[in-house]
Structure 1
Amino acid sequence: MPNSLPASAFALVLPCYKPPKGWAANILTSLDRLQALLPADVSVHLYLINDGSVGLAEADLALLRAHLPQFTYLHYPVNHGKGYALRTGVTQVQEELCLFTDIDFPYEEASVAAVFETLRTGRADVAVGTRDESYYAHVPQARVLISKTLRRSTRLLLGLAVSDTQCGLKGFNQRGRAVFLHGQIDRYLFDLEFIFLASRPAAGLRVEPVAVRLKPGVIFSRMSPKILLAESGSFLKILLTRFT
């Protein structure tokens, strides 16, 4: 049986690029709701990574600093992508357990708590949020097509046990962290690369799916053809790696 990890602070890493209005206040509200679901001796250390956003309001950062006793802010001038931002943040994490999600905190706080609990109790080295069919009722049709096509391709060509690699809520312990930091993809398919690397027998990691739910009213960004073209090349690189 896996051993439970000691409860203390865990890291929550949020990449930030052109955040929506009211994003800082939304983070505080979401963290308050999350804290109420956690064991009393567990706290959250927020790592915010500014991925090249210009003009991020100092008032928003001041709000977070004033209300969060554990808060780390990192920034750099040029946008590199979500994968790059998260690896930048994860390199600074001191906590044993680390979770990441998106700047708008799109998943229910109970889902975030479930991912954390899967790691805290030692049931997995990598906890992967997975979405059911109800998720697609709130998603633009173009993104539904992209997501389902990728899930089928992942299952058929890569043979991963967790086909929903693109859910924006995941977590890992120190063993999973080491694999995460070996990633090379900076944008959309960094999640797929991570799950692929974590699932390889040589990694020796336990990868566990965790059912999660999206909050109502989440607004999805448009997926540009340019990004799709670039990421098709990333997918091919991952596929070729499987046979090397």
Structure 2
Amino acid sequence: MNDKFVSTIMKNSKLTLDLVHPIYNPKKGWAEDLWFYFSAFQKPIQEEFEITLYLVNDGSSHGIHVSEIDFLKSKIQKFIYLELPINQGKGAALREAMKNCQSEFIIYTDFDYPYILENAWDMLDKLKSRESDIVVGVRDEQYYDQLPMRRKIFSLSLKLMNYLFFPKLKVKDTQSGLKGFNQKGKSIFLKTQINAFLFDMEFLVLASKAHEVKTDWIYVQVREGVHFSSMKLKTIVTELFNFSKIWMTSSN
């Protein structure tokens, strides 16, 4: 058996991962930052995983230029760029990407990689064990301490509401921006309808009703230097409406 044939077999036997990042009106230098963190993420796993990076532009009005997309295409071997014509929300952007994801495993997080990379590797290890279909990032106290007050109050209140209204949820902290799943989990994600903040919660509520789907979790930590934006009152009101919508739908 010649070396070229062995090399081809090894290449074809790699596990596959789709890494999905939504993006909206990013700050200057975002493409270089994305490349930096993606490179660090893939380095220890590139011999085992064939990684496709999906970047979904959620109808940005500024901040994304052809030169930046070309830069990423030149750096990342398997890079797919998608665009929504108008801003619809993170949930809608992620669903657009998920329709195209064919890999065995899928992980989504923000394009600026707000969590330490060890969290994503731990998540991938759990998925790779094939004992879980969905793995959820759960935020610790250190995470909440870094949130602006209004966002912190809303996040903790939502967690309490999940205990009261959705006792069957295995993971009550539904809103961390790091989640992973296999194709079985993807099929559930594509059933979500909410475009904005609570699409994560809707996803996990749907998963809790699918008895054949196994959900697990890991603790996640914010990487140094990340700053979170505050929540507008209008957003909070909208998401309270979405919460009631999820609850009423799940009760039927």
The bucket for the TM-score relative to the shorter chain is over 0.9
| Residue-by-residue CA offset, 1:61-90 (whole Å, 9 max, x unaligned) | 111001000000010220000000000000
> 1:125 maps to which residue?
133
TM-score by structure 1 length?
0.93
Rounded to whole Å, the distance in 2 between the matches of 1:31 and 1:11 is 12
Rounded to whole Å, the distance in 2 between the matches of 1:241 and 1:203 is 18
The answer as to 2:155 corresponding to 1:157 is no
> 1:139 maps to which residue?
147
The answer as to 2:98 corresponding to 1:90 is yes
The residue type paired with residue 165 of structure 2 is L
Which has more radius of gyration? 2
| Aligned residues of 1:83 and 1:185 also touching (Cα < 8 A) | yes
TM-score by structure 2 length?
0.91
Q: Which runs of 4+ in 1 moved over 6 A?
A: none
> 2:50 maps to which residue?
43
Structure 1 residue 20 displacement after superposition? 2.2
Rounded to whole Å, the distance in 1 between the matches of 2:76 and 2:211 is 35
SS at match of 2:205: helix
Rounded to whole Å, the distance in 2 between the matches of 1:22 and 1:185 is 30
| Residue-by-residue CA offset, 1:160-181 (whole Å, 9 max, x unaligned) | 1201100000011011010000
Report the RMSD for the aligned CA atoms in angstroms.
Answer: 1.3
Rounded to whole Å, the distance in 2 between the matches of 1:228 and 1:235 is 10
| Aligned residues of 1:111 and 1:212 also touching (Cα < 8 A) | yes
Instruction: Give unmatched runs, 5+ long, in structure 2.
Output: 1-12
Rounded to whole Å, the distance in 1 between the matches of 2:50 and 2:14 is 9
Rounded to whole Å, the distance in 1 between the matches of 2:45 and 2:152 is 32
Instruction: Give unmatched runs, 5+ long, in structure 1.
Output: 1-5
Structure 1 residue 182 displacement after superposition? 0.3
Instruction: Give the counterpart of 2:227 among 205, 216, 219.
Output: 219
Structure 1 residue 49 displacement after superposition? 0.5
Instruction: Give the counterpart of 1:181 among 181, 190, 194.
Output: 190
Rounded to whole Å, the distance in 2 between the matches of 1:114 and 1:206 is 17
Structure 1 residue 45 displacement after superposition? 0.8
| Aligned residues of 2:24 and 2:60 also touching (Cα < 8 A) | yes
| Aligned residues of 1:37 and 1:110 also touching (Cα < 8 A) | no
Mapping of residues 94-113 of structure 1, within 5 Å: 94-113=102-121
Structure 1 residue 28 displacement after superposition? 1.1
Mapping of residues 160-171 of structure 1, within 5 Å: 160-171=169-180
The residue type paired with residue 76 of structure 2 is L
SS at match of 2:69: helix
| Residue-by-residue CA offset, 1:140-191 (whole Å, 9 max, x unaligned) | 1111111100001111211112011000000110110100000010000000
State how many pairs are aligned. 238
| Residue-by-residue CA offset, 1:79-106 (whole Å, 9 max, x unaligned) | 0000000000000112111110012110
Sequence identity percentage: 37
| Aligned residues of 1:19 and 1:103 also touching (Cα < 8 A) | no
| Aligned residues of 2:207 and 2:213 also touching (Cα < 8 A) | yes
The residue type paired with residue 149 of structure 2 is Q
Structure 1 residue 39 displacement after superposition? 5.9
The residue type paired with residue 42 of structure 1 is F
The answer as to 2:34 corresponding to 1:22 is no
SS at match of 1:15: strand
